Structure 1
Amino acid sequence: MDERETAGAASDGTRVGAVLFDVDGTLVDTAFLHTVAWWQAFRQADRTVAMARIHRAIGMGSDHLLEHLLGPDRDKDADGELSSAHDALFAAHWPNLRPLDGADHLLRACHRRGWRVVLASSAKDAQLSAMRAALDAEAEIDAVTGADDVQSSKPAPDLVQRALERAGVAAHEAVFVGDTRWDVEAAARAGVPCVGMLSGGWSRAELEQAGAVEVYEDPAELLGKLDASILSRPPSPQRA
């Protein structure tokens, strides 16, 4: 079966739940690498944007990030060049990408418990492939969706909705795991509860205020507290 195509039922015909994972900053330690890559891309284009502002936009796809940082009156014809510069600068880090502590074990634990494991990332296909290689947990990943699969990236709900489609489950049968306000907002707009991670540099208070139902330091902490988390519960019954 193509890894991007999924069935919505177990072999006995019953519905199963899905855990939808953001990747950048949630499973792989890339949030600040993206910050530096965007800062360098802006500098190459003679644009000065403070790293603190850039960091707060990481988690958005480039479509929303450039609008957020440069505003609607920017020269939009330069967006493609800025995005390409960021991609090239970030690609220099690919050989050194590392999963966050416990990330691969968390995916395996969710898989063993019967959840469908779906990656839902604002990254483009090439970047997503590099991060999946760093994760080294392909056997536990049931489906993948990225920025190239949707018209609008996070904080729009499109990625979460596409991930639900590929998992073959309804919103009330899923949980999203992400590290930024943009993840929480995208999940909420799709009707999916979101578990927050502090590994992307956002604070616990910020993620909770955005609507995260639980917040953990990193994948390792969630893994250690899995039995007490929302992921210990079976998905909600199928609604009529």
Structure 2
Amino acid sequence: MTTTGTPDGDDGGAVLFDVDGTLMDTVYLHTVAWSEALRQQGFRVPMARIHRCIGMGSDHLLDALLSEERDRDGDEALSAAHDTLYAQHWSRLAPLPGASDLLRACATRGWRVVLASSAKKKEAEVMMRALDADDAITAVTTASDVSSSKPAPDLVQQALDKAGVPAERAVFVGDAAWDGKAARKAGVRCLGVLTGGWSREELHEAGMEVVYDSPSELLGRLDDSFLAVPPGWA
């Protein structure tokens, strides 16, 4: 990983990226893995409901799917089952078109690029290998680094700390309403992409100022977006 420079006397800016569904085409793989993990433990949950919770960490996802009043003794087994099932896809995980080039383009423009993923550390490492863009990434923060995952703001705040910039000098890019809500709670502007299966209207309602079809479209329109130049750069 590299740390991009900043102008003398200026803190520069950071662009914080969600990973699943934003940079990696993994949302529906997670949906299937959670569906099977829940089924194995006797829970029948429609995949449509599960899909709407992808992007949360397992702590919030199970609350949303099984209620906060449930017996939590089985949560660890459920999470472990999901991890085992999802790991079967690791060798085939692929970035979304344009995702790696988008990271490099942001770094070239002077942004500090930080990944802010609700995945656990080992899973995030697998996705980073698939992205193959370590040269553009300043830092990574995962669910393993915080006590509460998205939609809580902890991951965003941790990413800001690793970037070394205040909220007003950062932009978050995500694919789910949980990304927009977490960014808004942390005081960070947010862009959206539609590759996670949420609608444009839903992402706008969650606080995303501009929504693009895909990372590839954002890359192609980078010079016309507010990612064109970091704060303080000429």
TM-score interval for Structure 1 and Structure 2 normalised by the shorter chain: over 0.9
User: Does the Cα contact within 8 Å between 1:154 and 1:183 map onto a contact in 2?
Assistant: yes
Alignment partner of 2:27 out of 9, 28, 31:
31
Output the CA distance in 2 between the equivalents of 1:10 and 1:58.
35
Q: Distance in 2 between matches of 1:229 and 1:210?
A: 19
Q: TM-score, length-normalised on structure 2?
A: 0.96
- After TM superposition, list the pairs within 5 Å mapping 1:58-69 onto structure 2: 58-69=54-65
Q: 1:208 aligns with which of 189, 204, 211?
A: 204
Give 3-state SS (helix, strand or coil) of 2:10's partner: coil
The residue number in structure 2 matching 1:44 is 40
Separation in 2, partners of 1:206, 1:173: 25
Q: Residue type matched to 1:28 in 2?
A: M
Q: 1:231 aligns with which of 201, 222, 227?
A: 227
Corresponding position of 1:149: 145
Distance 1:233 1:131 in 2: 27
Percent identical among aligned pairs is 62
Establish whether residue 20 from structure 1 lines up as the match of residue 10 from structure 2: no
Structure 2 SS opposite 1:230: coil
Q: 1:58-137, aligned counterparts within 5 Å?
A: 58-137=54-133
Q: Is the 8 A contact 1:25 1:200 kept in 2?
A: yes
Q: SS of the residue aligned with 1:232?
A: coil
Question: Could you tell me how far apart the structure 2 residues matched to 1:235 and 1:49 are?
Answer: 45
Structure 1 stretches of 5 or more lacking a match? Answer: none
Aligned residues of 2:139 and 2:162 also touching (Cα < 8 A):
yes
Does residue 194 of structure 2 align to residue 198 of structure 1? yes
In 1, the alpha carbon distance for the partners of 2:193 and 2:6 equals 29
Match of 1:53 among 32, 49, 53: 49
RMSD, aligned CA:
1.6
Does 1:173 find its partner at 2:169?
Answer: yes
Note the C-alpha offset of 1:230. 1.5
Per-residue deviation, residues 33-71 of structure 1 (Å, max 9, x unmatched):
000000000011010000000000000000000001100
Separation (CA, whole Å) in 2 of partners of 1:138 and 1:234: 20
Structure 2 letter corresponding to 1:208: H
Q: Distance in 1 between matches of 2:168 and 2:68?
A: 35
Structure 2: gaps of 5 or more residues: none
**Cα shift at 1:234:** 3.2
In the alignment, is the contact (CA less than 8 A) between 2:149 and 2:155 conserved in 1?
yes
Preserved CA contact (<8 Å) 2:13 2:165: yes
How far is 1:233 from its partner? 4.0
The alpha-carbon deviation at position 20 of structure 1 amounts to 0.1
TM-superposed CA distance for 1:19, in Å, is: 0.3
